Amino acid sequence: MSNTYYEFFCPVKVIAGKAALEHIPYELSGLAAKRPMIVTDKGVRAAGLLDPVIAACEESGLEIVTIYDDVPPDSSTTVVRDIAGVYRKEKCDSIIAIGGGSAIDTGKAVNILVSEGGNDIAKYTGAGVLKRPLKPFLVVPTTAGTGSEVTSIAVITDEKKGVKLPFTSSYLLPNAAVIDPRMTLTLPPHITAATAMDAMTHAVESFTCMAKNPLSDAYAAAAIKKVSRSLLQVMDNSKDSDARLELAQASTMAGIAFSNSMVGLVHSLGHATGAICHLPHGLCMSLFLPYVLEYNLETIREPLGELLLHLEGPEIYAATPASRRAEASISALRKLRDALYKRCQLPRTLKETGKVTEDQLDQIAEMALDDGSIMFNPKEVTLKDARAVLQRAWA
């Protein structure tokens, strides 16, 4: 389907590579910030990942005023309010979020409160509520997958009402994303695999869904190439910091791609499965990816075929007849999943997760149909279709 109109936007400065953390003091001073607060979680602190950040700042005479390290995996409105309270009490003037999706989303939400005032983050939910830039905000991702450092959305749970509040505004984007290979070096194998497959899915869906455009395509294709080349390398040698950096960059690039061209049915099914069966997001992505591509196949044959070049490299691409490339791309992804299963038992079917029962599939299908990303799936999905894909992903 030719798309004759598109928009592309990414104003985040990307600071990536060796000794990237040491650029934090300079970046903050450029934003006139002198009293940063770190927002992170216990896991990051326990892994010793705060040390290089603190050292980098101290060496430049920049004091980290306070550290909040108790962000839960599913951040809530209360947590956001508490952190904003600490920020105000300590007279901070900027935020450094260090962690995965939850810490980053929390940082974004805290930034709304401390910039706009008040204690009730629910007031700012929705799209386009914010009308002006927020406080200086840096993000240091410690997983290579979510791409949250370049997306203009944050999701926070309102525990009292039991709902997830979405916040969307380009003002949520950080001033800079700092990608340093030291930050992902200690990520355990199964999280490395799952988060990298999340990035892979962002790129593949962005390249094959309805809002694809030439700019997001370029980012998506490059991200797919990096994940394909580096993921197994990292799985075999977790201390390979060059390959780690490749994955981290791929995640950011895939994030830029999908925040401009959206994702599709893999995410709809994944969000529903995650919510109902409490499975990690990346795992669900890896699990559903080939089944959804098979479902979409006839609508996405051309772009999916093109991806073979980035998945398998020029030799295999050239040796595969054009009419077989789309199928070959799916096989390449299945092969990668098998390799990951061998190395860290990353499940390939719902049954393999051991956490889903067959009688939950109807409920998952229903919920997937209400997910926003289903609007961008290239093929219209009915309840029956969603159920059929789930059945194929069962075992």
Partner 1 sequence: MLAKRIQPLASQAKRLYVELMFQVMGRALQAVSEVDSEVQKEAQALPEGFLFEMMVMPDGSKLIVEYIGDGRFHYHGDSAPRPVDVSIKFKHLTHAFLVLSFQEKTSVAFANDRMLVDGDVSYAVRMTRVLNRLESFILPRIVAERAVKEYPADLHLPEKLISAAQIYLKIATHFVQTVRA
Contact positions toward Fe ion, by CB under 5 A?
198
Task: Choose the one of Fe ion, partner 1, none that binds residue 198, judging by a C-beta under 5 to 8 angstroms depending on kind.
Answer: Fe ion
DSSP 322-355: GGGHHHHHHHHHHHHHHHHHHHH---SSHHHHSS
Shortest distance, position 281 Cβ to partner 1, whole Å: 17
Binding flag, residue 379, partner 1 (CB under 8 A): yes
Could you tell me the two tokens for 115?
């910039």
Query: Considering only residues 11, 73, 117, 372, which one is a binding residue for partner 1 as defined by CB under 8 A?
Result: 372
The answer to the question of residue 11 lying near partner 1 (CB under 8 A) is: no
Distance of alpha carbon 364 from alpha carbon 193, whole angstroms: 24
Which residues, in sequence order, are bridge partners of residue 127? Answer: 168
d(CA 173, CA 187): 25
Shorter beta-carbon distance to partner 1: residue 55 or 163 = 163
- Candidates 19, 127, 322, 395; binder of partner 1 (CB under 8 A) is 127
Residues 107, 111: Cα–Cα separation, whole Å: 6
Are 38 and 98 in contact, with CB atoms under 8 Å apart? yes
Q: Would you say 102 or 320 has its CB closer to Fe ion?
A: 102
Q: Is 211 in the site for partner 1 (CB under 8 A)?
A: yes
Find out whether 158 and 165 touch, Cβ atoms under 8 Å. Answer: yes
Nearer to partner 1, 358 or 370 (CB): 370
Contact partner at residue 369 from Fe ion, partner 1, none, CB < 5 to 8 Å by partner kind = partner 1
Q: Show the CA angle centred on residue 321, arms to residues 315 and 327, nearest 5°.
A: 95
323: left (phi over 0), alpha (psi -120 to 50) or beta: alpha
Looking at 278-307, list the stretches that DSSP marks H as alpha helix, in order from N- to C-terminal side: 281-306
Question: From the list partner 1, Fe ion, none, which binds 166 (C-beta under 5 to 8 Å, kind-based)?
Answer: partner 1
Q: Judge contact between 193 and 242, C-beta under 8 A.
A: no
Residue 357 engages partner 1 in binding (rule: CB under 8 A)? no
Binders in 181-210 for partner 1, by CB under 8 A:
209-210
Tell me whether residue 36 or residue 303 sits nearer to partner 1 (CB atom): 303
Check residue 371 for interaction with partner 1 (CB under 8 A): yes
* Dist CA 192 CA 179 (whole Å): 15
Phi, psi at 382, each rounded to 5°? -95, 170
What does the block give as tokens for 333? 């992804």
| Closest residue to bound Fe ion by CB | 198
Minimum distance from residue 99 beta carbon to partner 1 (Å): 25
C-beta of 3 vs 345, nearer to partner 1: 3
Q: Which of 54, 185, 275, 369 binds partner 1 (CB under 8 A)?
A: 369
* Binding site residues, partner 1, CB under 8 A: 1, 3, 5-7, 126-128, 166, 209-211, 261-262, 369-372, 374-376, 379-380
